[in-house]
Amino acid sequence: MQEKSAGVFVAATANRIDLLPAEIIRKGRFDQVFFIDLPNDSEREAIFRVHLKRRGNHLEDFDLPLLSVATEFWNGAEIEHVVEAATIEAFHRGTSLAQDDLYTIIRSTVPLSRTMSEQIKFIKNWASERAISASQSDK
């Protein structure tokens, strides 16, 4: 990769970068290592906005800040699952999707941040000293 021509941008992802050999992530192969953390409050609201809108819902029918708080430490795929599963449940009942439908799925879901908390903590600690954050802080 160090022989890449101008105008070429190479990106790669890894959940466990600490397991990669040093020669793969050394300077010259990849110019920088970025860390993408779990989404913050505003990012979770944006994720809900995308998935609710994608399924034809009116955003004004939902309290996005409250949904964001209810899904603290959740990843984007888990939030998408909430909207998808709640939409299916509402469809089976023959009703429109409502905020309570989302809360029902949220309450019955255990996020990855809880089931794999030790691994996620390790990755965050590793990245805090070795990578640049790709997310903006809520603060």
pLDDT digits over 7-18, tens only? 777 788 888 888
In DSSP notation, 29-69 reads T-S--EE--S--HHHHHHHHHHHHHHTT--GGGS-HHHHHH
Q: What is the mean pLDDT of the chain?
A: 90
Tell me the pLDDT band of 138, cut-offs 50, 70 and 90.
very low
What domains does the chain contain, in order, with CATH numbers? 41-115 (1.10.8.60)
Q: pLDDT category, 3, cuts 50, 70, 90?
A: low
Measured on CA atoms in the order 74, 79, 85, 87, is the torsion positive or negative? positive
User: What is this structure's pTM?
Assistant: 0.83
Span 65-99, pLDDT tens digits: 999 999 999 999 999 999 999 999 999 999 999 99
